[in-house]
A and B are shown apart, each in its own frame.
Chain A
């Protein structure tokens, strides 16, 4: 919850304006802003929220009529939970209704760790896996402690309604089943997953012509 203070009123107000995100458990910090004027330099700062609020709307907000010839730009930043895994990647998910009213979606990798290069199919290779299931532990030797990027929608059509949200994915870490297995000295059947990639989903930003 991005509230201005830890009070009933401030948390309520943040909920109402949807300035919130969910995580599967870790406490990563995620910023997501949309606007028309974000430039790569806005990602080259230690205080992305300054540019974010000055030039755009935060998660949960609305982008209204596009200035002529402009596409929406987004500033997305994530910082790892100090006690959890490093970050694998930031994705922006776009959904829109096309001219025929058909619903479409696309997923864009916008920032990732370890200088990976997308393959011939355009897909980013997986980040790897350092999980030691037997000991229910891992090392933060892959992934990044923080990721930030400015992304511009390459297929924007100002006449079509669209929605954008951010998904941040951690490197693999032990699932609770791995901890149980270790602590109780048991063996679960092979169909039980032992590692997990924790993630965060931000509230969307809507574009409505």
Chain B
């Protein structure tokens, strides 16, 4: 110990001031000039000077608290506890359960509904501003009446008013108070380098057709306070939301972006080829959309919108936690012809078509996942899932309770159908609002269904298998290519794009089954196509005569809600080159990584509550990640 200390001291002294002294006769520690010259070479550490993102940040861009008018009728957990929970502290749920995450999130956007922002807590507290309105006094009296039927009917009326044409309570002052209380809280919990509290809100148009967007701010409270949340009472047209955003940016010099979600519940409206008014899409509108909406939320509790088996019949992994019976509130049946305007993979293809006709691709978006939880608790973990809203928090019967009540019972959505999903993963250079926002703008993001796997995806023309034989794929990735969300340059003559893709398991989740690359392209005739390639997989499996890889197997012990990582691999990496590349065809490529089967949240509920669910309830799941695409444009 003492010797080591002396050596260190001697070395430090040499380095600091007396390089010349070491050139004399060999000293007792054996330090020579050559030793010192070697030590001071600056190129040794492979981690020094890295300017690219080195650690994925896991977060949620879509969380509701008691401040949202709908959540607030049941939810009694406020924004402050939502932050405390997300950064790893234990809080109490509305139902009185102790709640804590296995691991903290790196960032959180509390995106309460813009409509009558902050109304419910104000109503319940008898806020003078709200009670100065007639409706405010009426609702306050009803909610404090102590009569269950009156309280329930009033709560339903309040939730319903969220999608009306006029806000029943119109108080700019009340909204401003709530908004500025929120932005102050976000600034308080924003802890650069440790935990990012990005400011945001949800614009909630239109009724059951779910054109909802979350609007995220790059700046702090002093910036966000220069506006009020834009609500569907201001306009139900997303084009007006983009105008609001444009004006805000011009006025403040600070950027905003919007993330649409639940295309799967829009009944054919999310990714259309028309304007909101049903006119042909223009180049200007397409450009505005992709400028303000660089990302979509592709997976969340109300189902996954990446792909649908009807649209991708040759993809055995198409469809995950699929909700495809009706629109958001179950007021309109969904028909097959609507699906192509709802699912992300098809929308990416539609974007290639529109780009050919308009010169701009409005659907050149990247992916994030998030929860859209209305419990203030961002839980995407299968073994720690607090549900969609406070009415379906953990208890023995939540699996059979109605989560979304439809006019026709066959369109009701039941508790067991909820997906414990998802997460937004960002390759940012540091954990700050600015770095996360900038990564979102360049689409260097991926979505997961709740698991925290690490995924790299790079495209270029010069990746070789050797680039996959390293423990630091990102070094080759950034040197020789562009990361997820980027554009491939023009193809050099005779070359096809190559992709370096790598995935590492979440240490506390399942091993990996396979990596797929999903390609979509536009042919010479203007038609679009898709193909899914298995590019890396576990356990040395050999594809069958039909070219399909055998399934990875299943180690789930449903009764114990556990599994073994004895199948699958802890990490997968490969270099893949497109074997069917045509330099004249526009294309996109994204990676999809699939875990081995693990218990679904319903298996944990079955075990913990010692209940039996009906046979139609799935008990296992294969968690997955979707990277933002890389585009090739001839």
Binding site for B on A (CB under 8 A): 29, 41, 44-46, 79-80, 82-83, 86, 132, 135, 137-141, 144-146, 183
Contacts and interface: CB of A to CB of B under 8 A. Distances in A.
Contacts of A86: 570
B562 A137 contact: no
Interface stretch (B111-119, B235-243, B293-301, B505-513): B505-513
Contact of B569 (A41, A83, A140): A140
B3 interface: no
Most chain A beta-carbon neighbours within 10 Å: one of B469, B470, B571: B571
A83 B570 CA distance: 11
A180 to B, nearest CB: 9
A132 B469 contact: yes
23 contacts: A29-B507, A41-B560, A44-B560, A44-B562, A45-B560, A45-B562, A46-B508, A46-B562, A79-B508, A80-B507, A80-B570, A82-B507, A132-B469, A135-B470, A137-B470, A137-B471, A138-B471, A140-B571, A144-B566, A145-B505, A145-B511, A145-B565, A183-B44
B560 A141 contact: no
Contacts of B504: 82
Contacts of B44: 183
Contact of A140 (B469, B507, B560, B570): B570
A37 to B, nearest CB: 18
Contacts of B563: 46
Contacts of A29: 507
B80 interface: no
Nearest to B566: A144
Chain A, interface SS category: loop
A181 B570 CA distance: 28
B469 A135 contact: yes
A139 B470 CA distance: 9
Contacts of A44: 557, 560, 562
B383 interface: yes
Interface string B517-541: 0000000000000000000000000
B469 A137 contact: yes
Nearest to B508: A46
B565 A146 contact: yes
Interface string B451-494: 00010000000000000011100000000000000000000000
Interface in B34-83: 44
Contacts of B560: 41, 44-45
Nearest to A180: B44
A30 to B, nearest CB: 13
B603 to A, nearest CB: 12
A-B residue pairs, 7 tightest by C-beta: A145-B570, A82-B507, A140-B570, A145-B565, A140-B571, A137-B470, A137-B471
Contacts of B562: 44-46
Contacts of A144: 565-566
Given A144-B565, A145-B570, 13 more contacts: A44-B557, A44-B560, A44-B562, A45-B562, A80-B570, A83-B471, A86-B570, A135-B469, A137-B469, A138-B471, A139-B469, A140-B570, A146-B565
A119 B557 CA distance: 31
Contacts of A79: 507-508
Contacts of B505: 82, 145
A132 B560 CA distance: 40
A135 B454 CA distance: 23
Nearest to B38: A184
Interface string B440-456: 00000000000000100
Nearest to A179: B46
Contacts of B566: 144
Nearest to B470: A137
Nearest to B453: A82
Interface in B17-46: 44
Contacts of A139: 469
Interface string B548-563: 0000000001001011
A28 to B, nearest CB: 10
A86 B566 CA distance: 12
A146 B562 CA distance: 14
B601 to A, nearest CB: 14
Contacts of B570: 80, 86, 140, 145
A79 B565 CA distance: 11
Contacts of A132: 469
A29 B508 CA distance: 11
Given A86-B570, A141-B569, A183-B44, A46 B383 contact: yes
B378 to A, nearest CB: 20
A77 to B, nearest CB: 12
Contacts of A45: 560, 562
Nearest to A174: B471
Interface in B94-144: none
A111 to B, nearest CB: 12
Contacts of A146: 565
A80 to B, nearest CB: 7
A165 to B, nearest CB: 23
Contacts of B557: 44
Nearest to A46: B562
A80 B511 CA distance: 12
Contacts of B569: 140-141
A142 to B, nearest CB: 11
Nearest to B454: A82
B469 to A, nearest CB: 6
Q: Interface centre among A46, A83, A141, A146, by most B CB within 10 Å? A: A46
A137 B470 CA distance: 6
Which residue, B44, B471, B507, has most C-beta atoms of chain A within 10 A? B471
Nearest to B506: A82
Nearest to A87: B570
Contacts of A46: 383, 508, 562-563
A135 to B, nearest CB: 6
Contacts of A41: 560
A146 B507 CA distance: 9
B557 to A, nearest CB: 7
A19 B569 CA distance: 31
A145 B505 CA distance: 9
Contacts of B508: 46, 79
Contacts of B383: 46
A61 to B, nearest CB: 25
Nearest to B563: A46
A34 to B, nearest CB: 23
A46 B44 CA distance: 39
Contacts of A183: 44
A139 to B, nearest CB: 8
A32 to B, nearest CB: 18
A120 B125 CA distance: 76
Contacts of B565: 144-146
Interface in B565-587: 565-566, 569-571
A183 B566 CA distance: 35
Nearest to A45: B562
